[in-house]
Each structure stands twice: as C-alpha cells, then as structure tokens.
C-alpha cells in the first residue's frame, strides 16, 4: 500500500512540475482518492522540499524565479538534447513553415536556427519566441492560450484553436514518455488538445525525444505512435527499442 502512495505522490509531483500548481479538489478527482489523502500527499511533498502548499492546493517551489529568468524547469539530460537538436535542424530548409512545440529539446533546436532565411515558425513557447525573435531570417508567430509557468508555454483550448485551418511543412514535437503500448504521453491534460492540433496542421511530424523517455509512460495519453512520422533520438537508445520501433514501422533517426 505504501508503494501505491509513493507512486501517487510521484504522479502528483509530475503534474505540478508540468502545470506549476494544482488544486486539492482536482487531484482528488484525478487520482480517485479523498481530499484528506491528497492533503497528506501534499504535506509530504512540501516536507521533501518540492512544493509549497496554499489554501486548497499547492504550487511548485521557486517557480517565480524560473519565470523571471525565462528558464525551463526541466534541465535534465541536456547533452543528449543538444545532440538531438543538431540532428533535427538538418531537416529544416530555408523557406519552410514549421511548428516548434514547447520543451527543453525544442528550445535547443531554436538556439541552432540563427542562419536560416525566409523561415516562418509558429510556437506556443514564450522562451522559444524570444530566442527566434532575435534572428532576422525568421518570422515568429505565437499562439494564444493559458500561460503555464514551468514550460513557459501557452496551453489549453485557445492554443489548440489557433492551429485550425493552418497548414505547415514540419512539426517538431516534444513528449514526456514514448512507449508502444501507451503511445505518446504527457504530464499535463491541457496540452493534449494542443499537440493534437499541431499534428493535424503538419505535413511531417518529427518527435524529438531523448532515449531516457523511451519506454516511459506519463499521465495523459495523446495517442498511438502512428501519429508521428519520424522519431529523432540519441545513440543511447537500447537495441530492443530499435528493433521494436522497426517492427512497428516507426522511422528512427539516431543523432
């Protein structure tokens, strides 16, 4: 039973790290436990130094500093993400219209795009818009939506609606988990409609995900791996996954 409680707390923390905050009432509904149980979970997470409790919920510790410095919460496996970004930009051509999803790997892609000409980039990430806005050859378009502090992104139905009737050449999509059974998964429910709308707008979808995300499942499922055209990952991907993706006709690009 204690293991189940630990797993639930991990998932609660994952959600708060994604959205920046959470309400007791919502967590109680999502995890199908009482509000008393959720309050105990939040108390433990606060004691461990991850969150700060407030009336009716909790928010992520140090989130104000992240927003002020425009830095992303997730800074893990950065060398792998930089390698993937270098490979990803090889598939961008002058004159393209592309979507860059929010995330730490896609942020690294944006940093490498300074030499392109006549490029149009649509993004839901404020930090990516600021990076690309400094490059003279790029026309930057930012979606609307609700601001999500940990990912410096815009999310929800308004962000998804922005992509209606839009057509782009390429999408560079992020994910939290990628597995054959659960497909593409994310910690935040509000992102699912945005990712789906992005995919529907793009001719080609490149999923950029480091090898540590392969075989993992997060909270909310976007759908099957057949939604993507290519997976760009790093050379630390395990051999069994290379074979599995090949068997399921998923085109792998290894950086």
pTM of the shown model = 0.87
Range of the domain at 44: 2-61
Q: Does residue 53 sit in the same domain as residue 100?
A: no
Assigned domain for 70 exists: no
In this predicted model, what pLDDT tens digit does every residue of 131-190 receive, in sequence order? 999 999 999 999 999 999 888 999 999 999 999 999 999 999 999 999 888 899 988 788
Q: Are residues 234 and 174 in the same domain?
A: yes
Q: How far is residue 250's CA from residue 230's CA, in Å, rounded to a whole number?
A: 7
The domain that contains 200 carries what CATH number?
A: 3.40.50.1360
Domain holding 31: CATH number?
A: 1.10.10.10
Q: What is the pLDDT of residues 174-231, one digit of tens each?
A: 999 998 888 999 887 889 999 999 999 999 999 999 999 999 888 788 998 889 999 9
**Domain membership flag for residue 67:** no
* The length of the chain, given as a count of residues: 255
* Residue 1 pLDDT greater than 50, yes or no: no
Say whether both 110 and 165 belong to one domain.
Answer: yes
pLDDT-based confidence at residue 45 (cuts at 50, 70, 90): very high
- Res 69: pLDDT: 77
Residues 98 and 8 in one domain: no
Q: Which residues make Cβ contacts (< 8 Å) with residue 250, sequence separation at least 6? A: 225, 228, 231
220-223, strands of its sheet edge to edge: 177-179, 183-186, 220-223
Strand pairing report for 220-223 and 183-186? antiparallel
Q: Based on the domain organization, do 138 and 206 belong to the same domain?
A: yes
Q: What pLDDT does residue 203 have?
A: 97
What's the domain count of the chain? 2
């Amino acid at each position: 039973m204690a293991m189940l409680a630990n797993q639930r707390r991990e998932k609660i923390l994952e959600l708060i790290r994604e959205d920046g905050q959470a309400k007791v009432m919502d967590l109680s509904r999502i995890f199908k436990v009482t509000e008393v149980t959720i309050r105990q979970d939040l108390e433990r997470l606060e004691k461990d130094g991850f969150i700060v409790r407030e009336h009716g919920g909790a928010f992520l510790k140090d989130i104000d500093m992240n927003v002020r410095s425009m830095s992303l919460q997730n800074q893990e496996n950065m060398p792998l993400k930089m390698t993937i970004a270098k490979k990803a930009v090889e598939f961008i051509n002058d004159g393209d219209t592309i979507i860059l999803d929010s995330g730490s790997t896609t942020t690294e892609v944006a940093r490498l795009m300074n030499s392109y000409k006549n490029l149009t980039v649509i993004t839901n990430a404020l930090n990516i818009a600021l990076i690309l806005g400094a490059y003279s050859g790029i026309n930057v378009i930012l979606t609307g939506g609700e601001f999500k502090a940990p990912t410096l992104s815009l999310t929800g139905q308004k962000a998804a609606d922005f992509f209606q009737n839009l057509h782009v050449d390429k999408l560079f999509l992020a994910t939290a988990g990628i597995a054959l059974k659960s497909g593409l998964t994310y910690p935040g429910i509000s992102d699912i409609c945005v990712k789906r709308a992005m995919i529907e707008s793009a001719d080609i979808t490149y999923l950029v995900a480091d090898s540590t995300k392969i075989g993992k499942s997060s909270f909310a499922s976007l759908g099957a791996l057949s939604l993507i055209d290519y997976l760009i990952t790093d050379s630390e991907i395990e051999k069994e996954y290379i074979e599995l993706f090949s068997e399921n006709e998923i085109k792998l690009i290894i950086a």
